[in-house]
Chain A
């Protein structure tokens, strides 16, 4: 579980605005960079204000992120970005659907697994019909699908 305090938010805001301002101000002398420079200057003013407000803030709110629970989904996303095009959309999407259904299900009995498999097959058939047949979208494929 990751805990996010107000100060973390302020630090993130300042870092992001400085980073974007650096990129905008060192991008080039062209007038095309004028608008990004104005925006990032505004971002620096806003992040400075957020730092000032932080010191006057009485109620410290803490937000939590359950990284353990989300890790499987995030790993699936990273793997899809890396291998989705090579493995093909239908193949990788079927795996993603199946893994999400299985991992995030509270009941892992054999009956539920079979049910998950059936739902996955029917959903992927629906996706195939919608995109490949109806909308004629040519998605990257792996061997047969």
Chain B
């Protein structure tokens, strides 16, 4: 029950203010179509650089939690999911709003998000220290394979083509080698002085996630239709009904927790799997797609229940459970905090305060989410050209503010525009980002492993011997095989 002893840290004026801004801002950003949780967290990382690690993580955690829930607002009111995690919410949320019950649909969305979210965070609280203790047994070879596993998993799950996903991951790993080698101190691939310090993670995060989104907004502008008028609906009535739908809540929360724990999966998969499951076991199958509350409850409890568990592999092994968690890893690293047991010993206060703040953020998300829906319609209606201009300027100033270096801005814009074109070729940003973040971990451990292996039977034997190495290698193979099978099935269905 160590988490309870740091609870009071959350309730300081500064931390509560940060939580409030993070939650409300996250809900509004999530509501805006095109602003995904990953992009929102990436855009905010430069601001957290000026904060203490504790405050920075509280802000990022609150935004992560609330953008996922906020995305349901536009899913229900506009039929446009605010984030990929809300795709399943559209299926019954929009028909329910169309049938004159938009407020009721929003009530179910936030209440089930809260319930799912709290369950997910308790999983994070109880699983993380156990796994972090286990991670202490890891040597250089294991850490090398864990980093490769992280890239493999994101590459297979966040991409339509496994080869393109793996190729993107490899691009990220290669980009991470630019600059000085951390073990041998050799300068590599510095074709221009702007690359002498390597690729700045924040510049890469902002560029890869924000600029392609801006270009997509300008390329295909979406016409925002008129809003629904909110009906009169008692919140108490919604809470009672929501709690009575135990089956939908259980299916959503359990699916969310399991999918969150699988590295690389994410809210989109959690929402869709739980929707599919509840539809299969429901007595009212024919009502799904026509405004069935269970559809919203299962999908929303799942995508928020995924948030906490997605941080378990991240905080213990450095393997993110979702693309947004991958960006959050960048937030940890810029404060000099590396995933593993150190987070629960050296940085215990910061880590537990962050985890505790996620619980408070869930409560704030519930309270403000229910009342913010009215305000969110103004954000939803913001013309895409204003949104694109604002994101561009925020990306430029935010990137510059980290190191006061114009080169970072150039790198950010270059990577962003390149990513937009790469996305047209079927490549995705998440594997590149993860390759860039996990690249130094993979390379440092590989070099250390090689130094040790040179005194033994050679690097190949060192990297492939021992049950732990073989287990992680098997997981890499399973994830690639799973990706291939899924891709083949998808192509067959097309």
Which residues of A are in contact with B by a Cβ distance under 8 Å?
Answer: 4, 8-9, 12-13, 16-17, 20, 23-24, 27-28, 30-36, 39-40, 42-43, 46-47, 49-50, 53, 59, 63-66, 69-70, 73-74, 77, 80-81, 84-85, 89, 93, 96-97, 100-101, 103-105, 119, 123-124, 127, 130-131, 135, 137-140
- Are A73 and B218 CB-contacts (below 8 A) given A39-B177, A47-B167, A139-B400? yes
Query: Contact between B389 and A96 (Cβ–Cβ < 8 Å)?
Result: yes
Query: Contact between B389 and A97 (Cβ–Cβ < 8 Å)?
Result: yes
Please provide the 4 A-B residue pairs with the shortest distance between their CB atoms, ordered closest to farther: A32-B186, A104-B385, A100-B389, A32-B181
- Are A12 and B425 CB-contacts (below 8 A) given A31-B184, A135-B47? yes
Identify A50's interface contact among B47, B167, B214, B424, CB under 8 A.
B167
Query: Contact between B400 and A89 (Cβ–Cβ < 8 Å)?
Result: yes
Chain A binder among B85-93, B322-330, B335-343, B406-414: B406-414
Query: Contact between A93 and B219 (Cβ–Cβ < 8 Å)?
Result: no
- Are A70 and B215 CB-contacts (below 8 A) given A31-B184, A123-B390? yes
Query: Contact between B174 and A127 (Cβ–Cβ < 8 Å)?
Result: no
Query: Contact between A89 and B163 (Cβ–Cβ < 8 Å)?
Result: no
- A43 CB, nearest partner CB in chain B, Å: 5
Docked CA distance A23–B171 (Å): 13
Chain A binder among B65-73, B122-130, B443-451: B443-451
Query: Contact between A139 and B397 (Cβ–Cβ < 8 Å)?
Result: yes
Query: Contact between A77 and B425 (Cβ–Cβ < 8 Å)?
Result: no
Interface centre among A12, A43, A53 (most CB of B within 10 A): A43
B346 within 8 A of A: no
Main secondary structure of the interface of B (DSSP, over half): helix
Docked CA distance A32–B187 (Å): 9
- Are A74 and B188 CB-contacts (below 8 A) given A93-B396, A101-B386, A135-B50? no
Query: Contact between A30 and B186 (Cβ–Cβ < 8 Å)?
Result: yes
Docked CA distance A91–B215 (Å): 22
B98 within 8 A of A: no
- A79 CB, nearest partner CB in chain B, Å: 11
Identity of the chain B residue whose Cβ is nearest the Cβ of A135 in the assembled complex: B50
User: Can you name 9 A-B pairs with beta carbons within 8 Å?
Assistant: A35-B443, A50-B167, A64-B424, A69-B218, A84-B396, A84-B409, A89-B397, A93-B396, A139-B400
Query: Contact between B170 and A46 (Cβ–Cβ < 8 Å)?
Result: yes
CB-defined contacts of A77 to chain B, threshold 8 Å: 413, 417
- Are A73 and B188 CB-contacts (below 8 A) given A46-B167, A96-B392, A139-B400? no
- A94 CB, nearest partner CB in chain B, Å: 9
Identity of the chain A residue whose Cβ is nearest the Cβ of B404 in the assembled complex: A138
Query: Contact between A66 and B219 (Cβ–Cβ < 8 Å)?
Result: yes
Interface centre among B50, B421, B426 (most CB of A within 10 A): B426
Query: Contact between B425 and A100 (Cβ–Cβ < 8 Å)?
Result: no
B280 within 8 A of A: no
Query: Contact between B177 and A35 (Cβ–Cβ < 8 Å)?
Result: yes
- Are A63 and B425 CB-contacts (below 8 A) given A80-B413, A100-B392, A131-B401? yes
Query: Contact between B163 and A46 (Cβ–Cβ < 8 Å)?
Result: yes
B384 within 8 A of A: yes
Identify B219's interface contact among A40, A46, A69, A119, CB under 8 A.
A69
Docked CA distance A42–B414 (Å): 25
- A86 CB, nearest partner CB in chain B, Å: 10
- A101 CB, nearest partner CB in chain B, Å: 5
B166 within 8 A of A: yes
- B217 CB, nearest partner CB in chain A, Å: 9
CB-defined contacts of A30 to chain B, threshold 8 Å: 184, 186
B59 within 8 A of A: no
Identity of the chain A residue whose Cβ is nearest the Cβ of B382 in the assembled complex: A119
- Are A46 and B166 CB-contacts (below 8 A) given A35-B177, A137-B397? yes
The 0/1 profile, CB within 8 Å of A marked 1, for residues 158-180 of chain B is 00000110110011011001000
CB-defined contacts of B177 to chain A, threshold 8 Å: 35-36, 39
8 Å CB interface, B355-413 against A: 383-386, 388-390, 392-394, 396-397, 400-401, 404, 406, 409-410, 413
Docked CA distance A63–B79 (Å): 24
Identity of the chain A residue whose Cβ is nearest the Cβ of B394 in the assembled complex: A127
Docked CA distance A31–B453 (Å): 14
Docked CA distance A77–B491 (Å): 38
- A2 CB, nearest partner CB in chain B, Å: 8
CB-defined contacts of A123 to chain B, threshold 8 Å: 389-390, 393
Query: Contact between A49 and B163 (Cβ–Cβ < 8 Å)?
Result: yes
Docked CA distance A8–B426 (Å): 11
Docked CA distance A139–B46 (Å): 14
Having A73-B214, A127-B394, one finds 9 other A-B pairs with CB under 8 Å, namely A13-B425, A30-B186, A32-B184, A70-B218, A100-B218, A100-B389, A101-B385, A103-B385, A135-B401
CB-defined contacts of B414 to chain A, threshold 8 Å: 81
Docked CA distance A124–B385 (Å): 16
B347 within 8 A of A: no
- B355 CB, nearest partner CB in chain A, Å: 27
